[in-house]
Amino acid sequence: MERMEWRRSLLYAARPVVLGGLIALVLCLTVNFQGLAAEPATLESVGELAVPEGVEDPALEDTGESFLLKPAEGQTWVIDQAGLLTSEEENLLNEKCRQLYDTYGVLVTIVTVDDFGGGDILEWQKRVFMENPFGVKAKDGVMLAISMSERDWGIQTFGNGQRAFNTYGRERIGEIVVESLSEGEYYEAFDDFAELSGKFLKAAEKGKPYSSEHPYRASAPIWLIIGISFGLSLAVSLIIVTGWKKSMNTQVRKNEAGQYLKQGSFHLTRSSDVFLYHTVSRSQRPKQDSSNSSGGSGMHSTSSGTSGKF
């Protein structure tokens, strides 16, 4: 009996120790599990920038689009992001530029945007050409680009395209194109650019590119040629008819009015001078123009490009 009582006393005394050990073991396991659960989040956050919830990581995004312009599906020579052309007009310009590429191997392109982002439009055009959103492989080219936000335009050459479109050529083409751009006639301006590009490429291929020594002169409009021809024909006809009329007049003109009077039929009794008319001629004095002559329409040229405002 005494031994049984001793064992019970020992068990009662050991209960707090065992219970404390169990509690300590549970606490240790809980701490270890929490550390293991938090460890992946800690590893992922090391050396990385947090991405806000709901926003995809831009480093993982791959849209396949150019940084500046959306690449065309297939091949194109005209990218009209500003929406200045109808579908028919865009197709006509594409066909013209395609024929120039097939004939001369030079990429003649037209690009319109609402806003190119500011800075130098010529540098922007270089980046566009390097990204090649046109889907046409070419090292040589010339690009007309316009941005509607600040009414910027630029003509940039690439590779051997500078031979046909030197500084004189770019500025000469720019003068013609800007006339239509300023009037809002965008298709006419782009059509002129494509047409002039063909003429300048043809001249360069013949070994005589247009320059200040070999200037380009635009042909006169057909209506002007017809008008001049009609005027010259009318003048020649009048000269001939007048000559015939004079040859048919046999009466000799007399030099003095008195020779037409009969002898003794006129008697002058009084004479006087009367002032009848007073004529004053005025000319407007030219005004001094204090504005800057270069203005927004002035051109700026580099070794490979020309730009300005319209």
Q: What is the pLDDT of residue 250?
A: 58
**Same domain, residue pair 10 and 117:** no
20 plus 129 within the same structural domain: no
- Whether residues 167 and 44 share a domain: the answer is no
Residue identified by tokens 């052309």 is 85
* Type of residue numbered 120: D
Report how many domains make up the chain. 2
Does the global pTM surpass 0.85?
no
Domain ranges, residue 100: 78-218
77, 107 in Cβ contact below 8 A? yes
For 113-167, what is each residue's pLDDT tens digit?
A: 999 988 999 999 999 999 999 999 899 999 999 999 999 999 999 999 999 999 9
- Domain assignment present for residue 259? The answer is no
| Letter string b/e over residues 241-252, b meaning 16 or more CB atoms within 10 A of that residue's CB | eeeeeeeeeeee
- My answer on whether 38 and 86 are in the same domain is no
Domain membership of residue 266 (yes or no) is no
Structure tokens at 229: 């021809």
Helix or strand or coil: residue 154?
strand
Closest by CA position to 216, among listed 141, 166, 179: 166
Please say which residue of 170, 186, 218 terminates a domain: 218
Report the C-alpha gap between 9 and 169 in whole angstroms: 114
CATH code, 172: 3.10.310.50
> Is 21 part of a structural domain of the chain?
yes
Q: What is the pLDDT of residue 69?
A: 86
Q: Are 77 and 94 in contact (CB under 8 A)?
A: yes
In a domain, 267, yes or no: no
Q: Is residue 13 domain-shared with residue 89, that is, in the same domain?
A: no
Query: Picking from 226-230, 248-252, 297-301, which range would have the lowest pLDDT averaged per residue?
Result: 248-252
pLDDT digits (tens, 9 = 90+) for 33-77: 444 444 443 333 333 333 334 333 333 333 344 458 888 888 999
Paired with 111 in beta bridges are: 79, 145
Rg of the chain, C-alpha, whole Å: 45
Clarify whether residues 100 and 213 are in a common domain.
yes
Q: Are residues 101 and 158 in the same domain?
A: yes
* pLDDT of 54: 39
Res. 295 pLDDT band, cuts 50 70 90: very low
Q: Per-residue pLDDT averaged across 291-306, rounded?
A: 69
